[in-house]
Structure 1
Amino acid sequence: MNKYCVNGFKFQTEAVSRNKKTNNSSVYIQGDVDGTGQTIEYYGVIQEIIEVRYSGWP
């Protein structure tokens, strides 16, 4: 997929955002605290969107 909307948020890949006025392909996730007490932060750019569905899950 190139675009995906979930919980009121719209995400799109870098390729889709490249020629637009606004960019919505960057992501930031605050991770766990490491051994020194610092919070690990992850930054990235969405290259591909994959939807996973688990059959049998409620």
Structure 2
Amino acid sequence: MNKYCVNGFKFQIEEVSRNKKTNNSGVYIQGNVDGTSQTIEYYGVIQEIIEVRYLGWPKKKIVLFRCEWFDPSPRGTKMDH
């Protein structure tokens, strides 16, 4: 998929957003550092959107974003493949 809309938000892969006036390919998550109370922020760019549908009842689906992640901390930028 190139685009996905959920809860009033529209996400696009980087390739689609590249030549647009607005960019909707950025994502952000916040996580804990190895079980401590310290948090770290990660920023990413959506590379691919995949929707997986499960057969049967009730119908279920999950949407996965494959992203290129960046760590903007003082430790420098890193990529998580």
| C-alpha RMSD over aligned residues | 1.6
Aligned length: 57
CA offsets per residue over residues 24-45 of structure 1, 9 Å max, x none?
Answer: 10100112x2245321222110
2:68 aligns to what? none
What amino acid is the match of 2:12?
Q
Report the AA paired with residue 38 of structure 1.
Answer: Q
Higher strand content, 1 or 2: 2
Per-residue CA deviation, residues 1-58 of structure 1 (Å, 9 max, x unaligned), is 0001011110000000001001110100112x22453212221100000012233464
Relative CO higher for 1 or 2, CA cutoff 8 Å, sep ≥ 6? 1
Write out the 4+ residue segments of structure 1 that deviate beyond 6 Å after TM superposition: none
TM-score by length of 1: 0.80
Structure 2 residues without counterparts, runs of 5 or longer: 59-81
The unaligned stretches of length 5 or more in structure 1 are: none
Q: How does 1:1-58 map to 2 (within 5 A)?
A: 1-31=1-31, 33-35=32-34, 36-56=36-56, 58=58
Name the TM-score, length of structure 2 as normaliser.
0.60
